[in-house]
Amino acid sequence: MGGPGETQIETDRRLIATRITRLKRELKDVKRTRQLHRQARKRIPSPVVALVGYTNAGKSTLFNSLTQAKVKAVDQLFATLDPTMRGLDTPAGQTIILSDTVGFISQLPHELISAFQATLEEVVEADVIVHVRDAANEDTENQKADVLAVLRDLGLGEAVGDMLIEVLNKIDLLTAADRGALANQAARSNIPMVLVSAATGEGCETLIATLDERITEHFRTAEVSLAHDDGASLAWLYDHGNIIERRNEEDAIHLMVRMDAANWARFERRRP
């Protein structure tokens, strides 16, 4: 407790100040490890799926339920660096990297905003964004608006386009009628919407199938052959795509490249 004469408000202020200092320190650690594993990840040709959403929506629970019992080789790269990334093998035979993120909160204390945004760099680099929502929370629509506003601030408004998936979590807490209404809404939605319960695992298979579908549609793997003196194209491909395989042969450099559709189109335009 505080010194003699300290009022309750003063005590509260002091406790909050201590808490903010601690959170700032933790966020700095997060930022450092993320820089490290981002370098590690450059070597892994797998799409990254970021779970984003309001605080308490169930992102970490979903992260665990999607990846449990599936410890992948790629994890060895991350496990010690950052426990918030884990590999997942899908039924379609793809490996995806799931990334758990810090939840959004409205009216974040302004001292925390810049530190918080640093942790969201991860989201900007993701290939797919899964917006996890607490469908059982009465404030769920406002929370959604807040999260979408943050995504827009990150420059991820319209650009995210078809790589945004909405997950309506905690359906185990809903009445059958509410579930039915949500299922209807999901069926009419422009963006993929999946009903799940991270707690019971219900809907998780559908979610993974949806991820599989999006990623398969979006990314294409193809072989590219470059002349040995075409260093510019080579650098461009390393920058924009994932080089899965590289063979330097006498006639040319042969690459297996995985890239999204927009970048393939850009690459075609670059070629004479």
Q: Which spans of this chain sit near ligand GTP (rule: CB under 6 A)?
A: 53, 55-61, 103, 169-170, 172-173, 197-199
Q: What is the total count of residues that contact Mg ion (CB under 5 A)?
A: 2
58 or 192: CB nearest ligand GTP: 58
Least CB distance to ligand GTP at residue 170 (A): 4
Distance CA 29, CA 9 (A): 30
170 or 257: CB nearest ligand GTP: 170
172 or 230: CB nearest ligand GTP: 172
Residue 125's identity, in one-letter code, is E
41 or 59: CB nearest Mg ion: 59
Judged on CB neighbours under 10 Å (0-12, 13-18, 19+), 74 is buried
Q: Residue 80 binds which one of ligand GTP, Mg ion, none, with CB within 5 to 8 A depending on kind?
A: none
169 or 242: CB nearest ligand GTP: 169
User: Which of these segments, 53-61, 165-173, 231-239, 260-268, binds Mg ion (CB under 5 A)?
Assistant: 53-61
Smallest Cα–Cα separation from 126: which of 103, 151, 145? Answer: 151
| Contact status, residue 50 vs residue 147, Cβ threshold 8 Å | no
Distance CA 135, CA 132 (A): 9
- The contacts of residue 236 (CB under 8 Å, 6+ apart) are 267, 270
Of these, 20, 31, 56, 60, which contacts Mg ion (CB under 5 A)? 60
Q: Residue 57 binds which one of ligand GTP, Mg ion, none, with CB within 5 to 8 A depending on kind?
A: ligand GTP
Q: What is the CA radius of gyration of the chain?
A: 22
Q: Which residue of this chain has its Cβ atom nearest to ligand GTP in the complex?
A: 103
Smallest Cα–Cα separation from 164: which of 197, 190, 145, 134? Answer: 190
Q: Which residue has the tokens 């979408």?
A: 148
Q: Which residue of this chain has its Cβ atom nearest to Mg ion in the complex?
A: 60
- Residues interacting with Mg ion, by CB under 5 A? 59-60
